[in-house]
Structure 1
Amino acid sequence: EVKNFISKEKVNAEYAYLEVIKKYHTFFLSKETTVFVDKGLEIFDVCLSVIGKLQNSDKLFSLLKPKEKCVLLARSLTPMNMAILDKDYILGVALEMGGKTSHVAIMAKAKDIPAVVGVENLLNYGTKAYEAIIDGNRGMVIFNPSEKRIKFYEKEKEEFAKKRRLITTAKETKTKDGKEIDISANIEFLCEAVTAKEYGAKGIGLFRTEYLFLSKRNLPSEEEQFTIYKEVAEIMKPYFVIIRTFDLGGDKLIPGYQENNPFLGWRGIRFCLANLDFFKTQLKAILRASAYGSIKIMLPMVSTIEEVVNTKKILNELKEELRAQKIPFDENIDLGIMVETPSSVFLADVLAKICNFFSIGSNDLTQYTLACDRGNEKIAYLFSHYHPSVLRLIKETIEKAHKNGIWVGLCGEMASEILGIILLIGMGIDELSMAPQFIPRAKEFISLLDTDFCKELAEKVLKFSTTQEVIRYLKKRLKKEGIALEKYSYV
């Protein structure tokens, strides 16, 4: 098609390629569903890369790597865009599309970049402005702010930085009555491990390794992966590092592969078990790195017992290879799963017998329980991990894990929200994992809580029928206890 366009229109390759791609890009965006829109964005992402190669230039990526400090406004960004975004110059991000639990929003948090998503008519207003404040806590974008407003936010920023420094000096996180809660960090890149430790993380509860793949467009070698995993383990000593195997698929699209419904398709552990060379390379790198620190392996998108059993067989084969090669590794490395599908909750009592730990992925568990695309702003009002059905599944998972003698954590957005923290402590969670910058506030908030108070609230809301009832009741009780909701707000 591109060749025909060049012959007919007598234009250069870059122009022809762009015009052809525009047609497909427009088609996918017109469908207005997250899956199709993501495909359209991915196509355009690839298009920019191809044109950049044709021009032997990086100019097309200058918006993501500017030379001056600025705020980035866009209709949407892909996870790949976020992976290369330069946080030293991009001070904030605002997008017209997406939900607060989309992977782009999560990556912005991980990079410690203030972000607001799902802003209607953002670009219409933004083109008329010369300054903007991105308030990620309150979900606001303020164009051309007054001097008074600027001073308010500068003061708030200073106070937050000061409080963060004070809280991160605390080694342990305990409730008012002395119950210890492990606070870990979610990371995507090696550099974030240093940040996590500085903020007081007691481990890495989720290392999203798929971004090593997405940022390179091809599989990193065993040696490359080993080096990264080893460095993270050494940085976090003596604390643990949970490495999640590649969670490709869904909105983290696999280059060169398309399917009609990726969120219910070839993603997570399904993709890995179907691509054994790919999977074995990663597992072997993780095993080798386990000799240098406390590393655990976590499998994403598990929905059957066989997925865990088959992975354990592969691990045993790789261990035999390493023994034969006299390469050291942790013989007793822990294997756990992400509990993010309803089927894994219902099978949790069986899975707990063949796993060392669970980590609840509340974002996807909510998505699959409520049949609600977490990246679709049109149904964002339906998406809530405070829906009684989701809360009951979380409670069931914790109970089944503890009954079988394994610990359970949670690494979704719920872990960093104050209402979520209260309920999770009340339901008996052992570990909370969140973006590093939220750790100081979470520690401070937990120190104000009493375990019995949290249990009382959790038991009460588990009997409710609607999300609104849950949130309304929790806010009412917090107000009664004199806890200022806005002071600890994460949303």
Structure 2
Amino acid sequence: MTVSVKTDIPPDTLLIGIGASPGIAIGATHLLNRVRVVAVERSISSEEVAAEVDAFWKAVALSRQQLEEVKAGVTDQHLVEHLYIIDTHLLILGDAMLTSDTVALIEKEQINAEGALKRTLRKFREIFDSIEDEYLRERRSDIDSVGDRLLRNLVGVTQQSVTEIGKKAIIVAHDLSPADTMQMDKSKIIGFVTDVGGRTSHTAILARSMGIPAVLGLETATGLIAAGTPTIIDGTSGTVILNPSAETFREYLKKKQAYEYHERELLAYRELSAETLDGFRLALRGNVELADEVPLAISQGAEGIGLYRSEFLYMNRPLPPSEEEQLQAYRDILAKMAPHPVTIRTLDVGGDKFVPEINLADEANPAMGLRAVRFSLKERRLFKIQLRAILRASAHGRVRVMFPMISGVAEIRACKVLLEEAKAELVAEEIPFNAAISVGIMIETPSAALIAGLLAREVDFFSVGTNDLIQYCLAVDRGNEHVAYLYEPLHPAILRALKMICDAGREAGIEVGMCGEMAADPLYSLVLLGLGFDELSMNAPGIPRVKRILRQLRRSEGVAILDEIFGFATAREVAEYLEIEMARRFPEYFAGPIP
């Protein structure tokens, strides 16, 4: 690729994206062609159908071969732990909804393979776009990645591989697949930026695991940045600086050196407990979706799993998993996490989105429709199967069951009735289980926060899902770029809701945890400590950093700071005050007031 620097880009041109993988990279850019193939649908004759079907199956076979080659080439132990991502893409390639539906469209509609695949992928994307949970919604990127690979192989388009990059560079691309990321040579690729993508995508997860700074979701980066442009990327803040001045270069070089020093220092904290200077101990646990993620959580010092997203057992398949399949999956994660506890969240999606055998009508507002525990209480047969599997797994390790999106006491009582029915069935069948299994709920609706005192009498623990709680309390769709700025974790209403929840849990003598994104942000550690959370659950790479912060604080400091922040009227005021306070205590992490 010919290097061409855009001379019309002013010094210190600033771009803001999503900080997907922390760290600072300084270097010249390398543009990688990752623009999607545009599939053109056309009608075909009956004589052409067989050839189009054959071309589609050949593209599937070639795509499978390519992914298997990626798997075979992975030797880095950190990446071996993430091979489940490639396995997920292989499963998608074998999914009947993808292959059979595409072939059926070719045969019945008499359209070309690219057009049929385009229609099938559109159906998949519509399903994922309707999902409220950001983490689940980001799984659409896996469908996109597999679909793009299939389309390229169908039309015979080749693309430059990241393995062909011969010198140190910051990659600029429209998008990067997990397979691309896995093949990156860290001695050559020092960071990357993309037009699309989110913090919870598999590409972002891999970048964090590999320690490659990344900024995603820049929208127009490939149109603005030419090959060879001197660039700084800050994967912590989501900042990209083009053509940095000498002063900016020196500033970020110092930041880079300080960051790398403290990252090395964090290694010493992985095996230590999250205990404050005045003896208050928190449990730091991991959020996972598959058992293959557990080794990474353990390596980062997780003391159990605070959120196991069981809905991934239901994805990419024509029928829901059987009791035996679920039992095996739960036993697998328990065996890997032993002797620490595993909290299994029951199915947290709408049934029409993941259980094809159930045909529910489309909903105008799925975020507030038949989802999570509401769906489970409607489809009791499916719910009972999952509860039986969780109970049976409790005979093999420390399991906690957690019900999502509870809005009132009646719902939790209905869940507990079904749980007791499942227990009675297992007793009658002489199947062992832990009769004293801990039962908890996610607090993620305003109603649950308001009646936390009533709910606390019904359960053994709370886990606050801040992602949804903030969204619902503030009536903000954080996926909507027009109002996302209103999504404020430090909004006075949110802080008061969190205090109400923690106070209710403490009064009832039950544990209160947090499994939303707030838990992993060191900026909030002092506040969460003051509120009295017993457990924080997060993606594995955030654990050592939060642990280091907590071990250098006193709980009394957190309690004292609550008096100050509850006196502010806006989230902005709280954030500015908190960042100054954290910068005073940890200047290596916090540089001062937020811009």
TM-score, normalised to structure 1, is 0.80
Change (3 A) 1:291 1:18: closer
Contact in 1 for aligned 2:141/2:197 (Cα 8 Å): no
SS at match of 2:526: helix
Change (3 A) 1:312 1:255: closer
> Structure 1: which amino acid aligns with 2:560?
E
Distance in 1 of aligned mates of 2:457 and 2:299: 35
Change (3 A) 1:47 1:405: closer
Distance in 2 of aligned mates of 1:189 and 1:319: 26
> Structure 1: which amino acid aligns with 2:401?
I
156-165 or 257-266: which moved more? Answer: 156-165
What is the Cα deviation at residue 276 of structure 1? 2.4
Contact in 2 for aligned 1:441/1:488 (Cα 8 Å): no
Distance in 1 of aligned mates of 2:523 and 2:482: 24
SS at match of 1:238: coil
Aligned with residue 443 of structure 1, among 538, 547, 565: 547
Aligned with residue 328 of structure 2, among 227, 246, 263: 227
Contact in 2 for aligned 1:426/1:457 (Cα 8 Å): yes
Render the CA deviation track for 1:26-62: whole Å, top value 9, x for unaligned: 9x8xxx9998x99999999879878989999899999
- Residue matched to 1:210: 311
Counterparts of residues 301-340 of structure 1 (less than 5 Å): 301-340=405-444
Contact in 2 for aligned 1:478/1:484 (Cα 8 Å): no
Aligned with residue 424 of structure 1, among 528, 542, 545: 528
Distance in 1 of aligned mates of 2:585 and 2:591: 14
Distance in 2 of aligned mates of 1:61 and 1:219: 37
SS at match of 1:486: coil
Aligned with residue 182 of structure 2, among 65, 88, 93: 88
Distance in 2 of aligned mates of 1:431 and 1:332: 21
- Residue matched to 1:169: 271
Contact in 2 for aligned 1:339/1:359 (Cα 8 Å): yes
Counterparts of residues 4-403 of structure 1 (less than 5 Å): 5-6=43-44, 12=52, 13-18=112-117, 88-89=182-183, 94=193, 96=195, 115-125=214-224, 128=227, 135-141=234-240, 159=261, 161-170=263-272, 172-216=273-317, 218-249=319-350, 254=354, 258-403=362-507
Contact in 2 for aligned 1:302/1:341 (Cα 8 Å): yes
> Structure 2: which amino acid aligns with 1:417?
D
SS at match of 2:274: coil
Distance in 1 of aligned mates of 2:509 and 2:340: 21
Contact in 1 for aligned 2:258/2:588 (Cα 8 Å): no
Change (3 A) 1:356 1:470: same
What is the Cα deviation at residue 97 of structure 1? 5.5
Distance in 2 of aligned mates of 1:267 and 1:62: 40
Contact in 1 for aligned 2:41/2:114 (Cα 8 Å): no
SS at match of 1:181: strand
What is the Cα deviation at residue 290 of structure 1? 0.9
Change (3 A) 1:192 1:40: closer
Change (3 A) 1:374 1:175: same
What is the Cα deviation at residue 436 of structure 1? 1.0
Distance in 1 of aligned mates of 2:379 and 2:263: 45
SS at match of 1:183: strand
Change (3 A) 1:394 1:86: farther
Distance in 1 of aligned mates of 2:260 and 2:122: 48
Contact in 2 for aligned 1:175/1:450 (Cα 8 Å): yes
What is the Cα deviation at residue 426 of structure 1? 0.7
Change (3 A) 1:311 1:95: farther
Change (3 A) 1:390 1:436: same
Distance in 2 of aligned mates of 1:227 and 1:138: 40
- Residue matched to 1:476: 580
> Structure 2: which amino acid aligns with 1:125?
L
What is the Cα deviation at residue 327 of structure 1? 1.8
For the pair shown, the structure with the greater C-alpha radius of gyration is 2
What is the Cα deviation at residue 217 of structure 1? 6.3
> Structure 1: which amino acid aligns with 2:290?
F
- Residue matched to 1:404: 508
- Residue matched to 2:518: 414
Distance in 1 of aligned mates of 2:387 and 2:197: 33
SS at match of 2:581: helix
What is the Cα deviation at residue 238 of structure 1? 2.2
What is the Cα deviation at residue 422 of structure 1? 0.8
* Count of residue pairs brought into register by the alignment: 475
What is the Cα deviation at residue 168 of structure 1? 0.7
Distance in 2 of aligned mates of 1:286 and 1:354: 19
What is the Cα deviation at residue 299 of structure 1? 1.0
Contact in 1 for aligned 2:274/2:551 (Cα 8 Å): yes
Change (3 A) 1:23 1:357: closer
SS at match of 1:312: helix
What is the Cα deviation at residue 262 of structure 1? 1.7
Distance in 1 of aligned mates of 2:467 and 2:398: 26
Unaligned runs of 5+ in 1: none
What is the Cα deviation at residue 430 of structure 1? 1.0
Render the CA deviation track for 1:282-324: whole Å, top value 9, x for unaligned: 2222111111111101111111222211211111121122222
What is the Cα deviation at residue 22 of structure 1? 9.1
Distance in 1 of aligned mates of 2:206 and 2:329: 21
Distance in 2 of aligned mates of 1:441 and 1:41: 24
SS at match of 2:344: strand
What is the Cα deviation at residue 477 of structure 1? 2.7
| Paired-residue identity, % | 35
SS at match of 2:549: helix
Unaligned runs of 5+ in 2: 1-39, 53-111
> Structure 1: which amino acid aligns with 2:183?
Y
Q: Say what the alpha-carbon RMSD is for the aligned residues.
A: 4.6
418-427 or 472-481: which moved more? Answer: 472-481
SS at match of 1:377: coil
Contact in 1 for aligned 2:121/2:143 (Cα 8 Å): no
Contact in 2 for aligned 1:99/1:380 (Cα 8 Å): no
- Residue matched to 2:86: none
Contact in 2 for aligned 1:99/1:375 (Cα 8 Å): no
TM-score, normalised to structure 2, is 0.67
